[in-house]
Amino acid sequence: MLRPTGFVNALHRIQFRSERNRVSPSKKKQSPASWRHYNFTTAGPVDDYLYSMLPKRDAVLTEMEEYATEKSIPIVGPAVARVLQQLALMINARKVFELGSAIGYSTIWWAQAVGEGGTVVYTDGDSNNAERARGYFKRAGVSRQVVLRTGDALEILSEEKQQFDIIFNDVDKEDYPRVLRLIAPRLRKGGLFITDNVLWSGRVAEKNPDTQTRAILEFNRKLYDSGVFYTTLLPIRDGLAVALKR
Ligand SMILES: C[S@@+](CC[C@H](N)C(=O)[O-])C[C@H]1O[C@@H](n2cnc3c(N)ncnc32)[C@H](O)[C@@H]1O
């Protein structure tokens, strides 16, 4: 259900934070970060245009984007993160579960959307990622919203008794079919199951798909065929599947 006041307040909070922490734009011309999947779903100049439209991020998110670029960490990046945050605001999400959070970049966008009193469950199998993420959460002012869990994200989700407004899937691709089997009971009716990398740099259209691509193909087919979900595959960046639980 949409609650207009909550939505508008959340939007103001996010915009205010962005203004406050604005960093000056870099004058250097750099090649696009690897996490952008440049030239794949949109042609190079159009992709540049889309990214040029995005408002500047605050200092912490900007630093994370630079760190991810430097270390080749596959974060969703600001174009997809903005879609995630917008979807969360549209359904007034208060509880988000994230499978595969790495350094916590997408987690911060969720945390800003759920606001005070909201919760985002961060999960990652790598404790170094979790430690780095913890530092970013503190600096971004979202520590209170984030429940940080280290371990197998699928196991952690299996143990959850509560239902979430949004479940975001960004783990290893071989696990996608297994993730799909876990979702329905842990998502409220009207909630969103969102999955990244569903076009897998275009490999889903190749004649001889490898193991990871076959897992994504199986996942996409089952998600579309499911009577439980109403699904759309958005061709943004590396492909984002948005599935509404009926
Ligand atoms: C693509 S990155 C996540 C990026 C993050 N969602 C973002 O956009 O900022 C995938 C992360 O998932 C973690 N991962 C993969 N499979 C996992 C699993 N089964 N359980 C927990 N973490 C997993 C990896 O350690 C990696 O850090």
Ligand 1 pocket: which of 71, 85, 101 to mutate (most atoms within 8 A of CB): 101
Model's pTM, two decimal places?
0.90
Strands 164-169 and 119-124: unpaired
Q: What is the domain count for the chain? A: 1
Closest C-alpha to ligand 1, atom 5: 101
Confidence of residue 15 (pLDDT cuts 50, 70, 90): low
Q: Ligand 1 pocket, 100 CB below 6 A? A: yes
Domain of 135 in residue numbering reads as 36-245
Is residue 27 a part of any domain in this protein?
no
Q: Ligand 1 pocket, 101 CB below 6 A? A: yes
Is residue 23 a part of any domain in this protein?
no
pLDDT single digits (tens) 88-111: 999 999 999 999 999 999 999 999
Is residue 110 a part of any domain in this protein?
yes
Who contacts 212 (Cβ-Cβ below 8 Å, separation ≥6)?
172, 173, 174, 200, 203
* Residue 61 predicted with pLDDT over 70: yes
E strand segments, 41-90:
none
Higher pLDDT, 24 or 246: 246
Question: How crowded is the C-beta side of 205, counted as CA atoms within 13 Å?
Answer: 7
What local confidence, expressed as pLDDT, does residue 111 receive? 98
Residue 104 · residue 96 · CB < 8 Å: no
CATH number, domain containing residue 192? 3.40.50.150
Q: Which atom of ligand 1 is nearest to the CA of 168?
A: 6
What local confidence, expressed as pLDDT, does residue 64 receive? 98
Tokens 């604005």 label which residue? 22
Q: How far apart are the CA of 9 and the centre of ligand 1, in A?
A: 31
Q: Which atom of ligand 1 is nearest to the CA of 107?
A: 9
Q: Ligand 1 pocket, 153 CB below 6 A? A: yes
Is residue 186 a part of any domain in this protein?
yes
* Residue 209 predicted with pLDDT over 60: yes
pLDDT single digits (tens) 155-188: 999 999 999 999 999 999 999 999 999 999 999 9
Is residue 222 a part of any domain in this protein?
yes
Phi/psi at 57 (nearest 5 deg)? -85, 165
